[in-house]
Structure 1
């Protein structure tokens, strides 16, 4: 597990074992995850999405507590996966980092509670699975417009983004901050400490 420039986001690159039959790799290993992140992955829900090229999902986040940590893997095709620091008061507030996850590179991205998550499908029939620490709760789920110029996420210029009505109508980062809808950095750290103490 390698921590990205956005604290709370970790990239897992597995060792792939190819042979004449195909290949094998460990997409998730509890001991390695716990060593890297500092606590085990709590699994409450597993989601699978299928997207055509250009579909842009996010930026999504949930109220903390309890938030929703996500372990994201691309099973087919490829995505540009983005972690965004939406935590008010964070030293890296508003920063983001993008990594490519694909069926070819077998990488996974973990995003801790309080971070924003978005991805752009780079191929047709791209299939993404994300393991979630909490179940879906509509009243706690929020979004930031993924094309917000203040965030300035560098989406590929050769892909025309396709957004859902909900994502297209999401507020900008400044609007969400003004409305008091963003996770608080200190609260996120305190919640992570509590979870570490109870889950380990």
Structure 2
């Protein structure tokens, strides 16, 4: 497993897909509560080595067992910095880049309002999450705008990818029609 990179305000830990990063901002707390800089462009760049411009912020609310994903765009590909501000989710990324040593691999990380963890998912990966708490509010910054004409959905339960979602035995997530009709690994378009 790759090692964490020290930074005064942010802990950065690579995952099994090395350019998918767990970002942990420093949280300052006392008897009144806590404070954190959820995003600081200079600190993010210093800690990750990435100089990224975000163009859109998204915010979703979902109920327990909702699964959103696995989404990606073929045009206007999006890098995403994701976090949870209420509740908890299991957040997953799948590498669709043929040139990547981790092509076809997936990683999953629990993100919650309590752990303050964020996940950086670069362009070329499919992304989705499963809500673990009664409800969850999920926020994410993107490096390009939403482009519905080129959006693709990889099947959340594709056996080739084999994502191990934390669902109870025999339990099924709540899906919308688009996500329920996700493409198999064989049919899903990939990146070079």
Aligned pairs for 1:46-61 within 5 A = 46-61=57-72
Mapping for residues 27-66 of structure 1, pairs under 5 Å: 27-63=38-74, 66=76
Tell me which moved more, 1-10 or 101-110. 1-10
- In structure 1, the partner of 2:16 is 5
Question: What is the match of residue 192 of structure 1?
Answer: none
Q: CA deviation at 1:157?
A: 2.8
Determine helix, strand or coil for the equivalent of 1:32: helix
SS in 2 for 1:73: strand
1:100-124 deviation digits (Å, cap 9, x = unpaired): 1000000110111111111000012
Q: Is it true that 1:25 corresponds to 2:36 in the alignment?
A: yes
Which stretch shows the higher mean deviation, 20-29 or 163-172?
20-29
Partner of 1:190: none
Counterpart in the other structure of 1:100: 110
User: Normalization by structure 1: what TM-score?
Assistant: 0.84
CA RMSD of aligned residues (A): 1.4
Report the 3-state secondary structure (helix = DSSP H, G, I; strand = E; otherwise coil) of the residue aligned with 1:33.
Answer: helix
SS at match of 2:34: strand
Which residue of the other structure, out of 136, 161, 181, is the alignment partner of 1:151? 161
Alignment of 1:164 onto 2:176: yes
Ranges in structure 2 where 5+ consecutive residues have no aligned partner:
1-11
Deviation at 1:130, TM superposition (A): 0.5
- Spell out, residue by residue over 1:124-160, the C-alpha distance to the aligned partner (whole angstroms, 9 max, x if none): 2200000011111111211100111111111113263
Q: Distance in 1 between matches of 2:184 and 2:136?
A: 27
Of Structure 1 and Structure 2, the greater strand share is in: 2
> What is the alpha-carbon distance in structure 1 between the residues aligned to residue 113 and residue 156 of structure 2?
24
Give the length in aligned residue pairs. Answer: 179
- 1:174 is aligned, of 167, 179, 186, to 186
Q: Unaligned 5+ residue runs, structure 1?
A: 185-200
Supply the distance in 2 between the matched residues of 1:157 and 1:141 (Cα, whole angstroms).
26
Are the counterparts in 2 of residues 27 and 107 from structure 1 also a CA contact under 8 Å?
Answer: no
Q: Please, what TM-score do these two structures have when normalized by structure 2? A: 0.88
Matches within 5 A, 1:67-78: 67-78=77-88
Q: Which has the higher helix share?
A: 1
- TM-aligned CA deviation for residue 35 of structure 1: 2.5
- What do the CA deviations read for 1:58-97 (whole angstroms, capped 9, x no partner)? 1111125x41010001000000001111112322111111
1:40 CA drift (Å) = 2.2
